[in-house]
Structure 1
């Protein structure tokens, strides 16, 4: 089993020196007596192994009747036992666990596939993106999966919600009489809006930046989080099933997506049957994850090699005999796409900044940005780019023309166009922690010129996620990224405005309140963030 490229150690039996404290101390105290202490993690409820629990040397044992539970979520909020938490995470969200669930008659296994993973598999097997998705769906169905979905619809919903949230915060900042940045007179935390689709960035913000930065994060979920909400609420109800009986698996390019799947904020309520001492059954409610298992692209490749379909032992998805089928419709009555679609000229990390920029230009300033690539300007490096409306006006020779390929978005906000002699709208793409640090310093000092920022922890964005397939012999990481960028923009993937997605229209019309930003949509497609206390000292961090 592969681990994140960020953290690679040969021994996963973590050594904790006596000077290091654990965030979750037993009974509020932590005693150490020997230099050979170890931290032992307990699996989450429902996956807990049978048998007793040994008390580690030097740790005070909890009183009888008062068991101490250190959940995976607790450990992920700590920066001390990095590799132990990752070990438990991989055990609970692994290929082995996925295969075990396929053999459980009590659950229906469903799978959502990200565009970045689809792209990587297509490049690896020499297929087009649509061929790769169809053959991947066929293989999953051969294994016994109930339904396979493309994450395009969830991504389109997220883009519309992200744009609606930005418009609301931008207009509020203008009404307050300032730019919305903390150095002005406007209420703090309106602008810049920082994208929150990257769990690595979100975890960093929660653990190290806290209340200084979290208010700037967009509340819109990531596509994985949005799909989890849809599956455990709408899909389960449409199938007449409980959320707990639908086992939702995602295929993602990043190990940190496993971390996102374990967040308390991305859970739902299900009813279970409890057995009392007298043997009679009762009903209890418990919180369960909306994404039960996240597999990386590399882990799926391993499964393809371990469990090949008949006739595919040597070539995998590239074999002529590979089973193939179209992805499933998300809901009965919601049309399934016959083709693959992408955001027109958006980034390979989701196209958030591009879509927000085009929407705000039209809805706020009445400027229709012409179709085609936007004039992004590279700053210090290729992972720090910015785009201003003044540049677009200069390049295109003015607004009001062109159109967006005939797309008509659902109405946002009041629909009133702001009259401004010199429109002020600047967005940015900020990838990699080196550039994120620069961004945060600008925000804290009140000198950030951006209104919206697409933030990703990985350099080069999501196609370079730690869970992606590694470069082959003779191929450098940069060459692989360039290959994936070309595959992501393959002619097989048609450009389409998210508002033109028939499934999106049907979901908003029947389930999500009619418009982006509606209360029903916010309940399913938005989330929250909180400060996660960390007691790790600077010297401990330096050791890593």
Structure 2
């Protein structure tokens, strides 16, 4: 499995390599006995297979046999606690969030007292990536809905999952809560602009390098974690299961979603369970399909029919962006609630990943809302500086940044941003690091056919290919709306979760989260612990 690199504040590239600061010292679990006075020192030798051995260099013939050292491993919690770098989850050796872990659980999940109801939820971006990959190999295009039906049949008949759902209804609920929080901030003169909170890569970056920006980030849960709440809290009631009696796996386009699921905020201490037990990427799902010999290009019965009766609506559509339409949900709400007609204009700043959206009154062209779409760390750092300048926040590194008072200069001349949809990956979630790579070209640079598998070279098979991202984007928008009334179901869900009404306390518990600054003791390239 290929992993991407780490992020550093000084590097403005969206695709950057690990820095020395991201190497985390790991506690040695097999320490040698304390050295006695006059005892010989030891050295570490590495054999041809890469194994490490501790030996005595003074007199190898008289000393004890070389002692093989155990391999150090870094878990997700280690990464979250690390303050020496800004590291994407893709560069971490993940031990408890993998497709192997899922398969091991399913193999050991036998009926009995310890049995857990296996449930799978899939992101629409994952379905779009799989659909684009299948369509590139077949004459007839395959839609995300067909992919969902095929994956459902595979997961239920081969793997043993009881329920296979997509996360579009959870996104619908998260967007409603997002709009609610935006209104609260405006009414209470809260920290503005409000910055999107659905991208865990962006959250990790902000917590470790720009703690002064944290008050501006929306506290609404992402669709993945909202889905975790729905599965464990609401659907569990329907299935007559307690949260710890459900094993919830999500399939996401991003490795950072593994980090998100492992946050302590999403751990239910009452039932000792996480909202999302395990996260696998689109590529890992494809590996499972390959290991089980399942051909995803083969149709399954009823894949073109209307959605079957289900607990949640299937593949709800929405306007806006393929990353979730957070900005467009806010824009739609502002236009709907405005007492006067508004006109929307869009301005591309540096590229299509950085655009500004302005709503003006139709009568006098006065700006009433200014938002932005910001994808990729190159653009993200510019927006962080812009927000800091507009709001009088000193943009520092790590937890050193702090509020320096609100800047009033130029406020009368130019309206500041009200909202920013932030995503760490250039191109947004359809181009997540966990998505499928584009298929290798069969032609060489001169246009002649070439068997690249035979030569061991994969042409164009890289993450971030713009042409491939466009195809995934097209597949994402090929879904047509069908099925249930989501708003009616949403009302029922909220009534079931909060019989006494959705008050501030229950809203925070169910649909919102919090952030915290991660202190750093990095001095140059040296990491202090």
Q: 1:361 aligns with which of 335, 346, 364?
A: 335
Match of 2:324 among 338, 342, 350: 350
CA-based RMSD of the aligned residues comes to 3.9
Shift of the 446–259 alpha-carbon distance from structure 1 to 2, 3 Å rule, reads same
Q: CA deviation at 1:539?
A: 2.4
Partner deviation per Cα, 1:485-526 (whole Å, 9 max, x = no partner): 111111x33399x99543323212332469877543332111
Is it true that 1:384 corresponds to 2:354 in the alignment? Answer: yes
Distance between the aligned counterparts of 2:19 and 2:329, measured in 1?
A: 47
Counterpart of 2:106 in structure 1 is: 102
Equivalent position of 1:424 in the other structure: 368
Partner of 2:56: none
Aligned to 1:135: 150
Match of 1:443 in 2: 387
User: Any idea what SS the aligned residue of 1:112 has?
Assistant: strand
The CA deviation at 1:386 is 0.8
**Aligned counterpart, 1:5:** 4
Contact 1:153 1:501 in 2 (8 A): no
Name the SS of the counterpart of 1:389 in structure 2: strand
Report the equivalent of 1:63: none
Q: Deviations over 1:135-160 (max 9, x none)?
A: 11111111200101110110000000
> d(CA) in 2 for partners of 1:263 and 1:87?
17
In the other structure, the counterpart of 2:192 is: 191
The CA distance in 1 between the partners of 2:86 and 2:273, in whole Å, is: 24
Residues 73 and 358 (structure 1 numbering): CA distance in 2 closer, same or farther, change over 3 Å? same
CA offsets 1:92-122 (integer angstroms, 9 cap, x no match) = 1111111111121222110111010011111
Q: What is residue 111 of structure 1 aligned with on the other side?
A: 120
- 1:472 to 2:439 alignment: yes
Deviation string 1:406-434 (CA, Å, 9 cap, x unpaired) is xxxxxxxxxxxxxx993521111111111
Cα contact 1:95–1:303 (8 A) shared by 2: yes
Counterpart selection for 1:481 from 466, 469, 486: 469
Alignment partners' CA distance in 1, 2:88 and 2:217: 29
Per-residue deviation at 1:330? 6.7
**Aligned length in residues:** 430
Q: Output the CA distance in 1 between the equivalents of 2:87 and 2:119.
A: 29
> Quick one: distance in 1 between partners of 2:188 and 2:86?
40
> Which residue of the partner structure matches residue 132 of structure 2?
123
Cα separation, partners in 2 of 1:24 and 1:389, compared to 1, 3 Å:
farther
Q: Tell me, in whole angstroms, the C-alpha distance in 2 between the residues paired with 1:134 and 1:525.
A: 29
Q: Deviation of residue 319 (structure 1)?
A: 1.2
Aligned pairs for 1:438-517 within 5 A: 438-446=382-390, 449-474=416-441, 477-490=465-478, 492-494=479-481, 500-512=486-498
Q: Against the structure 1 CA distance between its residues 153 and 120, is the aligned structure 2 distance closer, same or farther, given a 3 Å change threshold?
A: same
Per-residue deviation, 1:349: 0.4
Structure 2 residue aligned with 1:91: 95
Are the counterparts in 2 of residues 111 and 251 from structure 1 also a CA contact under 8 Å? yes
Normalised to the residue count of structure 2, the TM-score between the two structures is 0.72
Query: Match of 1:401?
Result: none
CA distance in 2, matches of 1:437, 1:304: 38
CA distance in 1, matches of 2:425, 2:194: 19
The alpha carbon displacement at 1:288 in A equals: 2.4
Output the CA distance in 1 between the equivalents of 2:389 and 2:289: 50
For 1:255-404, list aligned pairs within 5 A: 255-271=255-271, 287-309=272-294, 316-320=295-299, 331=311, 336-337=312-313, 340-344=315-319, 346-363=320-337, 365-367=338-340, 375-390=345-360, 393=361
The yes-or-no answer on 1:156 pairing with 2:172 is: yes
Using a 3 Å threshold, how does the CA distance of structure 1 residues 518 and 479 change in structure 2: closer, same or farther? Answer: same
Q: 2:170 is paired with a residue of what secondary structure?
A: helix
Larger Rg: 2
8 Å Cα contact 2:90/2:255 also seen in 1: no
Question: SS of the residue aligned with 1:300?
Answer: helix
Instruction: Mark the CA change 1:133 to 1:369 in structure 2 (over 3 Å): closer, same or farther.
Output: farther
Counterpart of 1:147 in structure 2 is: 163
SS of equivalent to 1:531:
coil
In 2 relative to 1, CA 517–350 (structure 1 residues): closer, same or farther, beyond 3 Å?
farther
TM-score, L = length of structure 1: 0.70
Distance 1:71 1:302, change over 3 A: closer
Q: Is the 8 A contact 2:358 2:370 kept in 1?
A: yes
Structure 1: distance between partners of 2:118 and 2:165: 12
Q: Deviations over 1:347-370 (max 9, x none)?
A: 01000001111102322x335669
- Structure 1 residue 206: deviation in Å? 0.7
How far is the alpha carbon of 1:450 from its aligned partner?
Answer: 0.6
